[in-house]
Amino acid sequence: MMKIGDELPALTLEAFQNDGIKSINLHDYRGKKWVVLLLYPADFTFICPTELEEAANLYPEFQKENAEILSVSTDTVYAHKAWWDHSPSIKKISYPMLADPARKLCKMLGTYIEEEGISTRATFIINPQGRIVSLEMHDNSIGRSVREILRKLRAARYAAEHPGNVCPVNWEPGKETLKPGLNLVGKI
C-alpha cells in the first residue's frame, strides 16, 4: 500500500475520454500537473455516478488549479463507454476514465478488495513531482465530497508554493495561513 510521500510509479492504462479510447501513462503528468485519482468500485452503481458527476461539474475548477482528474475503476474502457452512452450523469464527464481490469493500479495503491474484485472508494492527490500528498479511503457505502477534494488540492498547492506556511482547518484561498512557531502570516 502506498502512503503519503511515496512516488507514483509509471503505469500505462487505457482510458475512455470524450467518446474515444486512449492510453495514459501516469508519468505523463510528471513535472506538469497535479493529479487527482478518484478510485471507485464499479460502473453502473448508485453512489459512483453522483460523485463522478460532481467531479465533472467542478472539473473546470480543478483545471484552473493545474490539475487533472482521473477516475479509476476495475471496469474496462468498453464498460466506461457503455455507461457514458447510457447515463446522463456520466455523459457530463470530460476527464479521463481509467480502466484497471488487471487491477494493477488498485493493488499498487492498496485499494483493491480481493474478495469483491473491486476497488475501495479512495482519493489520491499527487503533486507534479509524482508524490502522494493526500489520500483518503473509506467504505464503499459512503460518498465523498468533491468540493472538499478541491479544497484539499488548493491547500496542497498553497503549501507547496509557500514553503514554511501551513493551512489551518477549513482553509480556503484568501483565508489566513500559519507559519509554525510564528503568528498568522496573512491572507492570500
Residue 48's domain spans which residues? 12-144
* pLDDT at residue 185 is higher than 90: no
* pLDDT at residue 175 is higher than 60: yes
Q: Is residue 155 part of a domain?
A: no
Q: Is residue 183 part of a domain?
A: no
What is the CA angle 169-143-174, rounded to 5? 30
Q: Is residue 188 part of a domain?
A: no
Q: Is residue 54 part of a domain?
A: yes
Mean of pLDDT over the chain = 94
pTM value is 0.93
Q: Is residue 87 part of a domain?
A: yes
Give the total number of structural domains in the chain.
1
Exposure string for 112-148, b = 16+ CB within 10 A, e = fewer:
beeeeebbbbbbbbbbbebebbbbebeebeeebebee
* pLDDT at residue 187 is higher than 70: no
Residue 147 is predicted with a pLDDT of 97
Q: State the CATH number of the domain containing residue 72.
A: 3.40.30.10
Q: Is residue 80 part of a domain?
A: yes
| SS3 of the chain | CCCCCCECCCCEEEEEECCEEEEEEHHHHCCCCEEEEEECCCCCCCCHHHHHHHHHHHHHHHHHCCEEEEEEECCCHHHHHHHHHHCHHHHCCCCCEEECCCCHHHHHHCCEECCCCEECEEEEEECCCCEEEEEEEECCCCCCCHHHHHHHHHHHHHHHHCCCCECCCCCCCCCCEECCCCCEEECC
106 assigned to active site: no
pLDDT grade for 67, boundaries at 50, 70 and 90: very high
pLDDT grade for 179, boundaries at 50, 70 and 90: confident
Of the residues 24, 39, 48, 79, which is catalytic?
48
Instruction: Specify whether the CB–CB gap between 156 and 175 falls below 8 A.
Output: no
pLDDT grade for 64, boundaries at 50, 70 and 90: very high
Q: Is residue 159 part of a domain?
A: no
d(CA 180, CA 3): 24
The mean-pLDDT minimum among 59-73, 87-101, 170-184 falls in 170-184
Residue 143 is predicted with a pLDDT of 95
Q: Is residue 164 part of a domain?
A: no
